[in-house]
Each structure stands twice: as C-alpha cells, then as structure tokens.
Chains A and B, each alone.
Chain A
Amino acid sequence: MPEKVVVTGMNIISSLGLDLQTNWNNLVAGKSGVKKISLFDASRNITRIAAEVPSEFEEFSRKYIKKRAGSQMTRVTKMCVACAKEAVEKSGIDFEQMDKTRCSVILGVVNTGNSSTEKETTHQNRIFKSMTNSMSAWISLDYQLMGPNFVVNTACASSAYAISLGYEMIRNNQADLVIVGGADSIVNFEEIEGFNSLYAISVENNPPEKASKPFSKNRDGFVIGEGAGILILESEASAKKRNAVIYAEIAGYAITSEGYNIMAPMKDGEGMALTMEKALQNAGIYKEEVDYINAHGTSTELNDRYETMAIKRVFGDRAYKIPVSSSKSMIGHTIGAAGAIEGIITILSILNGIITPTINLDLPDPDLDLDYVPNQSREKEVNIALSNSFGFGGHNATLVFRKYS
C-alpha cells in the first residue's frame, strides 16, 4: 500500500504579507497587493504596476538568513529560504531526529531574479545569485539534508510540478519528508517589457488594485506578482511518529503537456480538461466530491475563457455548482511560485471552511458563467479541492487536496 502523503507545514510570502496568517487574513478580506512598482523606475514601461512583496522583507529575512549567505542570494532566493525556514520552524521538525538521507527539497524555480533590479551583484556572487538550483541547495545546506535537492522549471506550473514530484517521492517510499514549493519575481524592466510585447500583462495602471480582474469582461492580462510558497510534505507515518499537526492530505495530481503552442493554451481548454480529468483519476475522486477549484485564473483573455470551458467539459452541469476562484486577482501572478502559493490557499480553504474571492469581478463576461466567488469570501465546507496551474509551453498541473481525517 503506497504511503499517504500529508501536508505538515506551509508558509507564504507575498504582496499581502510576510507570514501565513497575515496572507490568509488579507485574502479572506479580499485585499489587493497590487501597487505602483517601487523596486525600480518603471516610468519607461507600459505596465507600471505589480504585486510586490512588502519592503519590510529585507529586514524580516535577516531573522533567517545570515549576512554572509545573504550576500550570495538574490532577493527572490532570500524569499524562498526565509519562507522555507519559517515553515520548518512552525511545523516543529527536528531534522536531527529524522533520517536526513530520506529528506529532500524540490522547488519550482523559473529564475532567481538576478536581473537589473537586483542590487549588490558582484563578480564574486554573480554565479551563486544566478544558479536556479541555489534555492533548493541553500535549504538543503541549512538543514544538512542528504536526500536529493533539485529544481524544476515548467514556467507558471513549476511549483505545482515540484509538489507533484515531492508527492511521488513519498508515495514511492523514496523519502519521508520533502520540502516543496517555489519563489519568483519578474518585477524588472526587461521582463515587463517582454511581457508587454506579448500583450500578456495588464496595462491598466490606475488604480493598480483594480488591474487584476480574472473572469471579468474587461480583463486585459495578468498582473505580475512576486513571492514564495513552501509546503512540508510528509508520509503519514512520519508525521504521526513525530506527532505533527496535519493540515491536509494530497489526494493526487496530474501533470501533462499540451504539445500545442509555446504561449497559447490548447483550443477550448482541451489540455486543461485532460489535466483535471487525469488528476481526479489519479486521486480516485468522483467528480461529485469536488467542493472547490482554485483556478489558474490569470485574467488573460484566453486562459480564463479556456479554463472555464475546461471545467464545464470535466464537470458538466455540476460545474455551475462548484465555486471557482482566482487568488491572482489579489496577489497577481507569482509565476514559478504560483502553484505552491495557490495550493496553500486551497489547503487553507479546506482548513478554515472559507473560500477566498475573485476580486475586481464587477463586470462579468457573459461567456464566463461559472460561480467565481465574486468580490467577497464565502463560508463553505470544503473536503476536496483542486488547484490548477497552466504554464507557457503547455505545462499543465492539477493538484487534488483532501481534508485530513
């Protein structure tokens, strides 16, 4: 019998806060973290807004990262490491009591953010700051873990892939504990310019907090967000052995490729639907059991249209009864970190019986007619929930979370 995989720790750093509880409170309140860009002078960019992590982060990170190591990390790497260390601390893990050869780190990392925005890059630290594997390496080094540590890059689905791979390692008895998640920031001149040229990001700079509006008729692209999300995955046996608090169970997942286009999702959401179908099969879940879907919900024309079509294709008439919401309406699109952050929000919805809203849904798109939990959070018992992540390049992932009992 394969091991049951449970979540025993989690943490978020985002534009809405530097810790899990602050993030959750702000998400439930339907707050937006989107503001005018402060990390660099964006006056030459068409888009001049983003969901930046609060400026207090640098000081906050010193609690977890020594000066010497910090000088070899980018701001994004620090987000990842600080997020992971707080997750480990709060989950009460004592690695000295564990078999470190069976503890791993798998992260979704698209880049380390060693861009023109990054400060204090020198010829001596440039390589360390640029190494995408540095995030998993630093975490592994900090706890002297000896199981594999590595990163996976599947664009916006990266950290959902990391969670999937961590789940597999535990399920297959290759690990007792895997730290999974991701961190990202593309708040810099060149990437914003690049996404502007692809017409992928919102150009509605005023007011910033209204720019990310998934599923609405006037959506005009995603809003760049930054942050980190970390989960501690553990075998149920390991969690029970150390009397850990268990937040949820990962019931299953699916990762697929669309084989279609480097940027656009497969027509009518066929690839997205396939991914959700496979995830439900993998988890052994009936469609009638799904209580909530945390959507990829980017606020782009195609994603929101196709994701809606995909949900209808999978769930039929029941699609209209399943609340579907987009966290990106509040924290923007955190790219490599999105899968982990939104997975954690999904778990918090299960734990608290509250579904976070899709804010800025003031002008509904008549073609998009599901229950998107508009503008206000909602109390609802959630036993089983999906979290979708779909990335440029046709990288799809759906995670299935179940209330632990």
Chain B
Amino acid sequence: MALITENTRKEVTDIVYNFFADECEVDIKDIHSDTNIINDIDGDSLMFLELIEIFKKKYNLDIELKTIGKYSVKHPVQTIGQLIDMQLLIIEHENKLLEFDQ
C-alpha cells in the first residue's frame, strides 16, 4: 500500500505517455487523457500488460495478474486517462485492489 503523491502521478503519466508515443510512433503532443488506445493510436491490449511489468519493477509491486484481470473485467480501460488511473490504483493497493473495489 503506497501513498500516491502528485509526484507519483506525474511520474506514472510521463512513463505512460512516453511508452505509447514510442511504441505507437505518435507525437507525444497528440496523446491526451481521453485518447482511445486502440482507435486513436493503434495500440493493443498487450501494451497494458507491458506497462504493468514496467511498474511492477519500478515500484516493486506485489500484484498478481489475475487480480488485475478480475478488476479490469469490471473496469475496462479504453483511454490513456483510464489506464493511468488504473495503474495508480494498482500502485496504491497492489494485491488488495479487489478489496478496495468492494
């Protein structure tokens, strides 16, 4: 359980924006909170998993993929903003993500 500060939010946002700009070969200026990952920048669902791996390493997170899977069934991610919010929740709650959701 980590405290999400403004710094954390900025760090996560920067990583996500840079990741999508690089992988999807789009200008970072064209990525916004409401950018649709699949329709607008030709992203794919695997990118979400790759980002989780990046954040797991960066923040030394204790989170199982099945926990994230169960959470995302109820809270599907479509936009960059939604993805950042979910990553922050994962960092904050780790394996207790589902308890938070109840």
Contacts and interface: CB of A to CB of B under 8 A. Distances in A.
Interface of A: 66-68, 71, 124
B50 to A, nearest CB: 6
Interface string B41-65: 0111011011001000000000000
A68 B49 contact: no
Interface string B9-32: 000000000000011110000000
A68 B50 contact: no
A124 B65 CA distance: 14
Contacts of B23: 67-68, 71
Nearest to A125: B46
A124 to B, nearest CB: 6
A67 B53 CA distance: 20
Contacts of B50: 124
B21 to A, nearest CB: 11
Nearest to A68: B23
The B interface, classified by DSSP as helix, strand, loop or mixed, is helix
Contacts of B49: 124
Given A68-B24, A68-B25, A124 B46 contact: yes
Contacts of B44: 68
Contacts of A67: 22-23, 25
Interface centre among A68, A71, A124 (most CB of B within 10 A): A68
A67 B21 CA distance: 11
A66 B42 contact: yes
Nearest to A124: B50
Nearest to B43: A68
Nearest to B49: A124
A312 to B, nearest CB: 55
Nearest to A72: B46
A124 B46 CA distance: 9
Contacts of A71: 23
A67 B26 CA distance: 11
B23 to A, nearest CB: 5
18 contacts: A66-B24, A66-B25, A66-B42, A67-B22, A67-B23, A67-B25, A68-B23, A68-B24, A68-B25, A68-B42, A68-B43, A68-B44, A68-B47, A71-B23, A124-B46, A124-B49, A124-B50, A124-B53
Nearest to A66: B25
Given A68-B25, A68-B42, A68-B47, 4 more contacts: A67-B25, A68-B43, A71-B23, A124-B49
A65 to B, nearest CB: 11
Contacts of B47: 68
B94 to A, nearest CB: 22
Contacts of A68: 23-25, 42-44, 47
A67 B50 CA distance: 15
B38 to A, nearest CB: 12
Contacts of A124: 46, 49-50, 53
Interface in B38-97: 42-44, 46-47, 49-50, 53
Nearest to B44: A68
Nearest to A62: B25
A71 B46 CA distance: 12
A85 to B, nearest CB: 15
B52 to A, nearest CB: 11
B99 to A, nearest CB: 29
Contacts of B46: 124
A134 to B, nearest CB: 14
A53 B16 CA distance: 37
Contacts of B22: 67
Nearest to A67: B25
